[in-house]
Structure 1
Amino acid sequence: MQSHAIEMAQVAAAARTGTGRFNMYAGIHKALRAFMVDTLIAVGRADPTDDADVSHAAAQVEELVALCASHVAHENNFVHPALEARCPGVAQPVAQEHEQHLRHIAHLRDAAQALLALEAIEREPALQALYLALALFVADNFQHMHAEETVHNSALWAAYSDAELIGFHDALLATIPPAEMMLVMRWMLPQLNAPERLGVMQGMRAGAPAPVFEGMLTGTKGLLNPQDWAKLARGLGLQPEPGLVA
């Protein structure tokens, strides 16, 4: 109990250290956690006798692990070099975990694809095996993301200014294809708190062509509950729908 209390105090201290600082991990990790949990639930409740159910679960697993593989590449190409440049060795444990995650991703992708070729009678044990393997992957990733948001963030905040961190982040975002960005936003925007969501949309309005921003705004409205949409609309200077209280 005492060690748990100490750990929680350390987590709280790490969070306070970043108050007011640019946090490049926060949004994407909220998206990944939500996507992982939703996918785990989808696999766990998939009906092995229902072709459409199984196909949907398998497709969502493949979409998730493809995004996870891309996320690993983004961190390896942009975040880890920045850490190594001014905080040598800090990223090494997580870099090794990335290699393990890529092997796990390949296994999950193969298992999801194999489901589609099975007869209905064979699907139940295969779905259960996929569910258990995915649960371990999610558990590993939750711990992994915790290390990044505490250890890595503390190192980045100590070594770089916010302007430098935003520069790294913008360079990373510039490499993401539109389809991947849309998928990330689908899972990120509903999970952000209101100030975070407003900041993302203000940044998009400032940096994206007007039709792209309008399309994202329309899509975002369909993802949010009425109260969250009203807060976002007010923050962006839009007229919220009558009767909504932000």
Structure 2
Amino acid sequence: MPHSLHLTKITDLNDRHDIYGPIHKGLRKAQCDLLARLGNVDFGDARATADLLSDMRALLVLAAAHLEHEDRHIHDALRTRGAASVDRLDHQHDDHRATFAELETLLASIEAASAEERPGLGRRLYLAFGTYVAHDLEHMHEEETVAAPQLWSLFSDAEMMAIENRIVGSLPPEKAMAFMRLMIPAINPAERAALLGGMKQQAPREAFDAVIEFAARPNLSAAEFADLARRLDLVA
């Protein structure tokens, strides 16, 4: 998509279900935070390097899972109703997967390197991951400005929520919690209250309490958590 079209093709939500919004906000924040860490970490520090590489691997696992969810649930649904843009998005996902393999090779090379070699390899990783983030930001923009309007034209909000629920239902508990940790600090207060308010009403109490204690409370500022507690009538 030409850069000149990026702003003119943004469609308003108009109160439609935003199936891409929260997870994409989570991925944008997590990827940009990680890119900043790659830029300022001391690759000569073995412990700091190991922690960063571990966090990067964990994020790439979630990013790969997100692609699979979109392929299996959103793209397949669009195909059943004749949407035209799905093949292009599939190809972009394949490019992302190839990049993940290249990034893993770089991660392994840093782990095997000496302290003297790590800074140079770390610079390669920083630039390579920055390129991936740039491509993924553009890809997510295309999904939210091209694929989302197609979804709105072909599916009701109830149907899109059913697709979303199938994605959530396919997740093992630990991966569901990891995605919550990405999304909760990245979305705005109203979106946060809507996401967790729906969970409070529909999910088992122990599952909701776990998300509050292990995803929301540790990843929000005191002011943000107090606002959430007020909106959801929680004990802060």
Q: TM-score range by the shorter chain?
A: over 0.9
RMSD over equivalenced CA pairs, Å: 1.5
Task: Give yes or no for the alignment of 1:134 onto 2:133.
Answer: no
Judge conservation of contact 1:61–1:108 (CA < 8 Å) in 2: no
Per the TM alignment, residue 117 of structure 1 is displaced from its structure 2 partner at its CA by 1.1
Taking the aligned partners of 1:45 and 1:167, their CA distance within structure 2 comes to 42
Which residue identity lines up with residue 194 of structure 2 in the other structure?
Answer: G
Residue 230 of structure 2: aligned partner: 234
Residue 28 of structure 2: aligned partner: 33
Q: What is the DSSP-based 3-state SS (H/G/I as helix, E as strand, rest coil) of the residue aligned with 2:129?
A: helix
- Sequence identity percentage: 30
Taking the aligned partners of 1:96 and 1:9, their CA distance within structure 2 comes to 24
**Worse-matched range after superposition: 219-228 or 103-112:** 219-228
Judge conservation of contact 1:33–1:142 (CA < 8 Å) in 2: yes
Q: What is the DSSP-based 3-state SS (H/G/I as helix, E as strand, rest coil) of the residue aligned with 2:63?
A: helix
User: Tell me, which stretches of 5 or more residues in structure 2 are unaligned?
Assistant: none
Which residue identity lines up with residue 9 of structure 1 in the other structure?
Answer: T
Taking the aligned partners of 1:224 and 1:76, their CA distance within structure 2 comes to 31
Taking the aligned partners of 1:83 and 1:170, their CA distance within structure 2 comes to 16
Task: Give yes or no for the alignment of 1:104 onto 2:99.
Answer: yes
Q: What is the DSSP-based 3-state SS (H/G/I as helix, E as strand, rest coil) of the residue aligned with 2:15?
A: coil
User: Tell me, which stretches of 5 or more residues in structure 1 are unaligned?
Assistant: 241-246
What is the aligned counterpart of 1:222 among 197, 218, 221?
A: 218
What is the aligned counterpart of 2:141 among 118, 142, 146?
A: 146
Per the TM alignment, residue 102 of structure 1 is displaced from its structure 2 partner at its CA by 0.3
What is the aligned counterpart of 1:49 among 31, 39, 44?
A: 44
Per the TM alignment, residue 86 of structure 1 is displaced from its structure 2 partner at its CA by 1.4
Q: What is the DSSP-based 3-state SS (H/G/I as helix, E as strand, rest coil) of the residue aligned with 1:191?
A: coil
CA deviation vs aligned residue, 1:177-203 (integer Å, no higher than 9, x gap): 211111111121011111110111112
Which residue identity lines up with residue 30 of structure 1 in the other structure?
Answer: K
Task: Give yes or no for the alignment of 1:10 onto 2:19.
Answer: no
CA deviation vs aligned residue, 1:52-90 (integer Å, no higher than 9, x gap): 111012112211111111111100000001111113322
Which residue identity lines up with residue 8 of structure 1 in the other structure?
Answer: L
Q: What is the DSSP-based 3-state SS (H/G/I as helix, E as strand, rest coil) of the residue aligned with 1:10?
A: coil
Larger radius of gyration: 1
What is the aligned counterpart of 2:176 among 172, 175, 181?
A: 181
Residue 115 of structure 1: aligned partner: 110
CA deviation vs aligned residue, 1:129-187 (integer Å, no higher than 9, x gap): 11110000000000000000010000000111000000011011101121111111112
Residue 244 of structure 1: aligned partner: none
Taking the aligned partners of 1:46 and 1:7, their CA distance within structure 2 comes to 33
Q: Aligned residues, how many?
A: 233
Q: Compare relative contact order (CA 8 Å, sep 6+) and give the higher one, 1 or 2.
A: 2
Task: Give yes or no for the alignment of 1:73 onto 2:74.
Answer: no
Q: What is the DSSP-based 3-state SS (H/G/I as helix, E as strand, rest coil) of the residue aligned with 2:112?
A: coil
TM-score by length of 2: 0.94
Taking the aligned partners of 1:73 and 1:183, their CA distance within structure 2 comes to 16
Taking the aligned partners of 2:133 and 2:125, their CA distance within structure 1 comes to 12
Judge conservation of contact 1:84–1:90 (CA < 8 Å) in 2: no
Which residue identity lines up with residue 82 of structure 1 in the other structure?
Answer: A
Which residue identity lines up with residue 197 of structure 1 in the other structure?
Answer: R
Residue 172 of structure 1: aligned partner: 167
Taking the aligned partners of 1:94 and 1:23, their CA distance within structure 2 comes to 18
Residue 78 of structure 2: aligned partner: 83
